[in-house]
Every structure is written in C-alpha cells, then in structure tokens.
C-alpha cells in the first residue's frame, strides 16, 4: 500500500503510476476530491489498483481522515511519498517578500510533510519494509545556487520555494536519523525540472525550455537516474530488510584512516577513491572480483558484475555456483575493483536479497550499464551473462562494506586503509 500526496497530476501522478505498475495499491492523495477520483479512475482503467483519498497537507483534519482510510483499507502503509508542494509564484525577493505567502509555501512544503509523516508513522511501523520519499528540488542545492557556472546562480533570489526545499532536505535527514533503528528508509529525491503546470512560472522567469516530461521525472525515482537523489539514513548493521543501510556511497565517511605507504608518501584522499568507485560501476568494462571462503577455508575468487545502490554494492550469482554456496555458509567476503586511480579492495558481508522493491532498481541499474537484466520472481534473468555466473536465473546479493584498502596506480600513488562504522 502506497500513499502519494499531490498525486492527481504532474510528478505525483507519474510516481503513483510507477508504484501501481509495480503491483502496489496506490492511494491518490489530492486536495480536490473530483481530481483525485478522476486520476484514480484513469489508473484503474489501465488495470491498476488505485483509490482516491482527500489529503490537504495543510489541513490536520484531512490528514487524520486519510490515516483512518489507510487503517481501515489495509491496516498498514508500505510507502509514503510526500510530493505535494507549491511554489507561491515568483518572485519572492528577500527584502520584498510577502510573509503570508512565504508561510503558505513552508506550511505546504515543510510543515505539511511533518503533518502527514507523523500521521502515517503508526501505519508505516506495521510494514516490514517501510520507506518514505520526500520530493525535493534541485533549487534546494546551496552548492548549485552559489556556483557561478550553474544557471541557478543567475536566478532571482527567493525566500519561498528554494528555501522551503532546502529545509525539507534537512528535515529528511532528521527523520532518517530518528527512524533508522526501526529500519524505515527515508529518502529525498529531486526529479529535475519537468514540463508540468508547476514549472510554467519557472520557465517564464528564466526563459529556459523544459522538455522533460512528468513521466520521465517519475520514472527516474525508480531507476535512480534523477538529477539529484540522496538517501539519508545513517548506516545500520544487520542483514537484509529492516535496519539496512540507506546512505548512498557518496554520503559515507570513514571513521578511521591509516596510511599504509612504506615509502613516506601521504594518505590517499578518500574523496578521490570514493568518486572513482562510484564512477566505475556498473560499467561492464570495470573488472570486479568477488573473494569468498570455501567451507574448508580455502579461498575462492570469481569475476562479477557489480553496481552501487542505496549505499551498498550489489552483484549477481547463479544458485549453483561456488560463490553462492560460499556466501550462504559464510557471508564474509571481499570485492576487488580496479579504478582509473587505484586498485581497491572492500571487505564486508554479502547476503542474498529477494525484495522486489530492491530487485527492480538493481535490474534497472544493470540495464544502464549495458546488461539487459529483468526481474524474474525473486531473481534476475537476461539473454546472456558472464561465464562465471552460471545459468539463469541469477540471485542478487547485497554487499555492505566496513573496510576499504586502496593502492594508488597514478600520482601520488600511496596506499591507505579506511574503516567505516
């Protein structure tokens, strides 16, 4: 069961369609009952399970009523997408701002998220794999806004929409910290500018042409191709499912660094190695080797295709292969990856994943990298694979690392080990 606020049009509708296409029952949250029902009816006509629910995120009464509807309909909520938002129009120059309008923007874009999330939390806590997605905006980026080479820097100053979305990003971080022990995944995603009613004032003010459709923006939320996406829950130990790490690879910072260079060189920069690891996968040409331990203790190594998703490394393996058998008995393993700047070894644990909500974006990531993978039940299949993978279907494994060792292969060379919490 999923609830999407502001789902009667634009990005919200596209996200609702994407969730429905993945077999979820979707509640179309809308302020206007007729518009919500029209959208739900259109989805039902396409064969999806969709129902309208009145949700005005600025109205505690409608939010409470929506929570009651979910309770009586399904008894739990698996996905909450806080999409409803307003721009307040343009411009809202800091020294000329109409504070009444600014309050309306913040009431919808920030306080409304708190209002809806808190009302739905008892229902999300009943789900075995709950997740919350807050729809942010590229205009929330302080880096982009202050970069003289980015077109955002040329936009008029505004204390309404961009400021509300920047605040939303921090709110997302705080919810992620609070809910991490319960295993509830909390993300913020910016789908980028799309050709919807919402962006008309923006295009008029900037003179830019937006050709990207709402369907493309909504689809990106499921394939991680959104122009700006970050998952904010800090890392959590444990196996698959509840409590799993939700941070992106680029968010993680080491808690310890040790210089291993015996020739007096300095430490390698973690940021350089990190960026190289992210850029290297899931390219098919990147060599990646998985090291496992046989039951008798002897080592085993095999080439695999790997990719990053929500902070962890994912790979595939046939159920009858040596590496799959090794991991079933002992999840401790290593991944060795050659990048343009360093040879990198990651140490951690790998366990099988069967959750369709994870398999789908992992398959999409492989397709981006050139391997046409598709979800088949609780595994993946494709017209071809590496010889070492064995025959299809292929199981998917999530690897969570705790140690990284890198040996530089370009200037300044060097060797460094990092440990992670």
- Alpha-carbon distance 410 to 421, whole Å? 28
Active site annotation includes 263: no
- Catalytic site residue from 9, 48, 165, 309: 165
Active site annotation includes 48: no
- Alpha-carbon distance 49 to 18, whole Å? 12
Q: How many angstroms separate the Cα of 368 from the Cα of each of 69, 281, 283? A: 39, 10, 8
Instruction: Identify whether the C-beta of residue 159 lies closer than 8 Å to the C-beta of residue 92.
Output: yes
φ, ψ for residue 2 (rounded to 5)? -125, 145
φ, ψ for residue 354 (rounded to 5)? -125, 0
Q: How many angstroms separate the Cα of 172 from the Cα of each of 132, 136, 167, 212? A: 9, 10, 9, 26
CA 123 to chain CA centroid, nearest Å: 21
Q: How many angstroms separate the Cα of 32 from the Cα of each of 4, 29, 115, 182, 367? A: 14, 9, 19, 34, 39
Q: Which residues, other chains included, contact 176 with Cβ-Cβ below 8 Å and sequence gap of 6+?
A: 186, 231, 232, 233, 234, 246
Burial 83-114 (b: 16+ CB within 10 A, else e): bbbbbbebbbeeeebeeebbeebbebbbbbbe
- Catalytic site residue from 161, 309, 314, 366: 161
Residue 228, token pair as written in the block = 């700006």
Q: How many residues does the chain have?
A: 421
Beta bridge partners of 259: 416
Q: Which residues are catalytic?
A: 161, 165
């Amino acid at each position: 069961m999923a609830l999407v606020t502001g789902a009667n049009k634009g990005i919200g509708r596209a996200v609702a369609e994407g969730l429905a296409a993945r077999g979820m029952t979707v509640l179309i949250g809308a302020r206007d009952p007729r518009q919500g029902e029209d959208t739900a009816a259109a989805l039902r006509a396409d064969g999806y399970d969709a129902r309208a629910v009145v949700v005005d995120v600025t109205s505690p009464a409608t939010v409470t009523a929506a929570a009651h509807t979910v309770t009586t309909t399904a008894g739990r909520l698996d996905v909450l997408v806080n999409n409803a938002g307003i721009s307040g129009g343009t411009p809202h120059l800091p020294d000329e701002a109409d504070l009444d309008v600014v309050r309306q923007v913040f009431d919808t874009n920030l306080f409304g998220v708190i209002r809806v999330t808190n009302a739905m939390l008892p229902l999300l806590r009943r789900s075995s794999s709950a997740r919350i997605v807050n729809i942010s905006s590229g205009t929330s980026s302080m880096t982009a806004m202050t970069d003289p080479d980015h077109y955002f820097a040329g936009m008029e100053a505004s204390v309404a929409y961009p400021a509300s979305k920047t605040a939303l990003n921090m709110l997302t971080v705080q919810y992620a910290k609070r809910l991490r022990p319960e295993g509830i995944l909390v993300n913020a995603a910016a789908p980028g500018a799309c050709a919807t009613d919402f962006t008309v004032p923006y295009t008029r003010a900037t003179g830019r042409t937006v050709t990207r459709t709402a369907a493309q923006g909504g689809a990106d939320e499921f394939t991680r191709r959104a122009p700006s996406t970050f998952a904010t829950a800090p890392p959590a130990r444990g196996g698959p499912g509840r409590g799993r790490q939700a941070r992106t690879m680029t968010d993680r910072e080491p808690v310890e660094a040790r210089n291993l260079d015996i020739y007096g060189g300095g430490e390698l920069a973690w940021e350089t190695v990190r960026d190289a690891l992210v850029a290297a996968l899931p390219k098919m040409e990147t060599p990646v080797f998985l090291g496992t331990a046989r039951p008798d203790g002897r080592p085993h190594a095999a080439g695999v295709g790997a990719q990053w998703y929500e902070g962890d490394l994912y790979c595939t393996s046939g159920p009858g292969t040596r590496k799959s058998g090794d991991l079933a008995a002992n999840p401790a393993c290593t991944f060795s990856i050659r990048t343009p700047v360093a040879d990198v070894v990651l140490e951690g644990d790998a366990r099988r994943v069967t959750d369709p909500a994870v398999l789908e974006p992992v398959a999409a990531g492989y397709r981006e990298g050139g391997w046409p993978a598709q979800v088949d039940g609780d595994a993946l299949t494709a017209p071809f694979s590496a010889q070492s993978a064995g025959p299809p279907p292929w199981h998917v494994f999530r690897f969570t690392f705790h140690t990284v060792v890198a040996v530089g292969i370009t200037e300044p060379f060097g060797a460094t080990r990092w440990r992670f919490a």
